[in-house]
A and B are shown apart, each in its own frame.
Chain A
């Protein structure tokens, strides 16, 4: 009964066909089957945000989604966002401000921060904190992360469109 199910999806723009067990969550599928290990697995129940990815342009928890549910979806991981250069400035701001230490939360933080900046280009610090409130960082104390997101928003605002 719990036989493998065929699934076809786009991952970072690349078509993928696979046979997956129903119980395999999307985070493990990305990490184990596709070796895209930038998506991290922390709490496995939707609290920590380390596994955040984009599905059809919107952020979701890949630990709370089955790989079979991604049928027909376009999945973007931190590798995709990084390789395309979409978040190069945000990554640079994180580096400059030491907005990461161990780095475990960083992929999820970057994807979530980029999501905020897409929806709200000039967020105040409160809005940044609120949007990132579903992403845990156990190293930085968050101040540097908020600084980096705020600095990126400012730089993007000053850049001619």
Chain B
């Protein structure tokens, strides 16, 4: 299908975009890469009165490192994340994740800000920013505020953004030398929506986790920072402890049933990913053994 009629405004600056949002409120939609918005409009799932196109705002594009913080502009495209040496060095989790996001032609247009603001619970980047403990920088008519990634996602396609606010950047602590990462997802076919996925960041010292952040996606109405990770921090991880953590994780999840998987299947796959993740990060393959149980 084709999108219903709408008006179009090409924002000339962030200030101009905010003026347009203030004037049109929730009747307006921000257009960045359009790789989620356009399908939704073509399928007539949404019909905004006006699109505010921020695609030309160069000030919102780019990756910089400043005082131990990695700053990624909202308009940074997936392909830029894939090719950036700064991302490879300071947030390799994002690089790994992007290879699973759709296909090259989509990654050439889709933006990180668009993906986060769209807040699809099955998408990769929201779970990554949760695992990376990122801050989401948003600007509105009353100024700028920073929202912790775990507070940003509120539900399916719902975020803490007000209708008059614009997501402008994502800030993340640069990965220290001690940080390690894990990313894996189950999908029917590479590039398809994930059935279940896991983005994780850990700090391992002397064979133990001193920090472990597990961002699961496609397991509920938003990316989930698993509390079950707490059981594995500062502990000697045994097969029994990992089983306990897996049980706690399954209890913690509230997955939906859809045409891809039942809730029970998603719970099971999440525990498989947990075991793989822990085994990989601790470099102890024997911990993965419980996978097929």
Contact = CB atoms under 8 A, between A and B. Distances in A.
Interface of A: 1-3, 5, 21-23, 25, 28, 44-46, 49, 52, 55, 58-61, 63-66, 68-69, 71, 112, 115, 130-131, 133-135
Contact of A68 (B1, B10, B106): B10
Contact of B105 (A1, A22, A130, A134): A134
Contacts of A23: 2-6
B189 interface: yes
Contact of A60 (B2, B55, B56, B109): B109
Contacts of A134: 102-106, 191
A21 B3 CA distance: 11
Contacts of A55: 108
B42 interface: yes
Interface in B33-80: 34-35, 38-39, 42-43, 49-51, 53, 55-56, 79
B145 interface: no
A108 to B, nearest CB: 9
B206 interface: no
Given A23-B3, A46-B39, A59 B51 contact: no
Give the interface centre of B10, B104, B106, B109 by most chain A CB atoms within 10 Å: B104
B8 interface: yes
Q: Which 7 A-B pairs have the closest CB atoms?
A: A134-B103, A22-B8, A45-B39, A1-B7, A64-B38, A59-B105, A2-B5
Interface of B: 1-8, 10, 31, 34-35, 38-39, 42-43, 49-51, 53, 55-56, 79, 102-106, 108-109, 189-191
B42 A44 contact: yes
A125 to B, nearest CB: 14
Majority DSSP secondary structure for residues of B touching A = loop
Contact of B2 (A28, A52, A135): A28
A64 B39 contact: yes
A58 B2 contact: no
A55 to B, nearest CB: 8
Contacts of B3: 23, 25
Contacts of A66: 8, 31, 34, 38, 51
Given A3-B7, A25-B2, A69-B34, 6 more contacts: A23-B4, A49-B103, A59-B105, A65-B34, A115-B104, A134-B105
B38 A22 contact: no
B38 A25 contact: yes
Contacts of B55: 69
Give the interface centre of A59, A112, A131 by most chain B CB atoms within 10 Å: A59
Given A44-B1, A115-B104, A68 B8 contact: yes
Contacts of B1: 44
B106 A5 contact: no
Nearest to A22: B8
A63 B38 contact: yes
B10 A21 contact: no
A55 B151 CA distance: 37
A22 B104 contact: no
Given A1-B50, A49-B105, A133-B191, A64 B34 contact: yes
A156 B195 CA distance: 39
Nearest to B45: A45
A61 B106 contact: yes
A35 to B, nearest CB: 19
A45 B39 CA distance: 4
A66 B3 CA distance: 10
24 contacts: A1-B50, A2-B5, A22-B6, A23-B6, A25-B38, A44-B1, A45-B38, A46-B35, A46-B39, A46-B102, A59-B105, A59-B108, A63-B38, A64-B35, A64-B39, A64-B106, A66-B8, A66-B51, A68-B8, A68-B10, A69-B34, A71-B10, A134-B103, A134-B106
